[in-house]
A and B are shown apart, each in its own frame.
Chain A
Amino acid sequence: MSRLDRTRTSAHQLRPFFSSQNLLNRADGSAQFDFGESSVMCSVVGPSEVKLRDEKLDKATIEVVVRPLVGLPGIKDKAREQAIRETLEPLVLSGLHPRTGIQIVVQTMKDDGCILATAFNATILALLDAGIPLKSILGAVTCIVDNNSNEILLDPTTEELANAKSTHTFVFDNKSSITSKEEQQESVDVATLYSDSTGLFSEEEYFECAQICYKAVQAVHGFIRTAVQKKLEKEYQQIHS
Chain B
Amino acid sequence: MASITTEQESELLIVLPGDQLPESGLMEDSSAAHRLTLGPGLAPMDDDSITAVKAGILKHNAVGNRWWVESNQRRYVAAQGESIIGVVTGKTAEHYKVDIGASQPALLGVLAFEGATKRNKPNHNIGDSLYCRVSMANKDMEAELECMNPTTGKADGFGELKGGFIIKVSLGLARRLLDPKNLVLRLLGQHIPFEMAVGTNGKVWVNSASAQHTILLCNGIRNSEYLNAAECVAMVKSLVEKM
Could you list which residues of chain A lie within 8 angstroms of chain B, going by C-beta atoms? Answer: 28-29, 45-50, 93, 96-101, 128-131, 133-137, 173-177, 224-225, 228-229, 232-241
Q: Known interface pairs A128-B55, A175-B1. Does A241 touch B228 (Cβ–Cβ under 8 Å)?
A: yes
Interface of B is mostly: loop
Number of A-B contacts (CB under 8 A): 113
- Which residues of B from 58 to 85 have beta carbons under 8 Å from A? 71-75, 77
Decide: A28 and B73 in contact? CB cutoff 8 A: yes
State whether the Cβ of B229 lies closer than 8 Å to any Cβ in chain A: yes
Which residue of chain B has its CB nearest to the CB of A131?
B73
- The total of chain B residues at the interface (CB under 8 A) is 38
Q: Which of B43, B51, B57, B224 contacts A232 (CB 8 A)?
A: B57
- Within the complex, the shortest CB–CB distance from A108 to chain B, in Å, comes to 24
A137 and B16 within 8 A (CB): yes
A130: chain B residues within 8 A (beta carbon): 73-75
Give chain A residues whose Cβ lies under 8 Å from the Cβ of B1.
175-177
Partner of A135 from the list B11, B53, B77 (CB cut-off 8 Å) is B53
State in angstroms the CA–CA spacing of A235 and B14 once bound together.
13
Report if B211 contacts A (CB, 8 A). Answer: no
Contact indicator B16/A228 (Cβ below 8 Å): yes
Min Cβ gap A83→B in Å is 20
Query: Could you say which of A28, A232, A234 contacts B74, with CB atoms under 8 Å apart?
Result: A28
The residue on A at minimum CB distance from B70 is A236
B56 contacts the other chain (CB 8 A) = yes
Asked whether B178 is an interface residue with its Cβ less than 8 Å from the other chain, the reply is no
A106: min CB distance to chain B, Å:
19
Contact across chains for A98 and B73 when beta carbons are under 8 A apart: no
Chain B residues in the interface with A (C-beta under 8 A): 1-2, 10-12, 14, 16-18, 41, 43, 45, 51, 53-57, 71-75, 77, 103-104, 139-140, 172, 176, 183, 224-229, 232
Cross-chain contact A93 with B43 (CB below 8 angstroms):
yes
- Whether B17 lies near A136 (C-beta < 8 A) is yes
Q: Is the beta-carbon distance between B53 and A93 smaller than 8 angstroms?
A: yes
Q: Are A232 and B55 in contact (CB under 8 A)?
A: yes
Given known contacts A97-B139, A175-B18, A176-B1, A47 and B77 CB-to-CB distance under 8 angstroms:
yes
Q: Determine the residue in chain B with the shortest Cβ distance to A138.
A: B18
A241 to B228 Cα, complex, angstroms = 8
**A176 CA to B17 CA, complexed, in Å:** 13
Contact B140 A99 (CB under 8 A): yes
Enumerate chain B residues within 8 angstroms of A49, measured Cβ to Cβ.
103-104
Q: How far is B41's CA from A99's CA once the two chains are assembled, in angstroms?
A: 20
Which 8 interchain pairs have the tightest Cβ spacing?
Answer: A131-B73, A136-B18, A134-B17, A133-B53, A100-B103, A28-B75, A128-B55, A237-B228
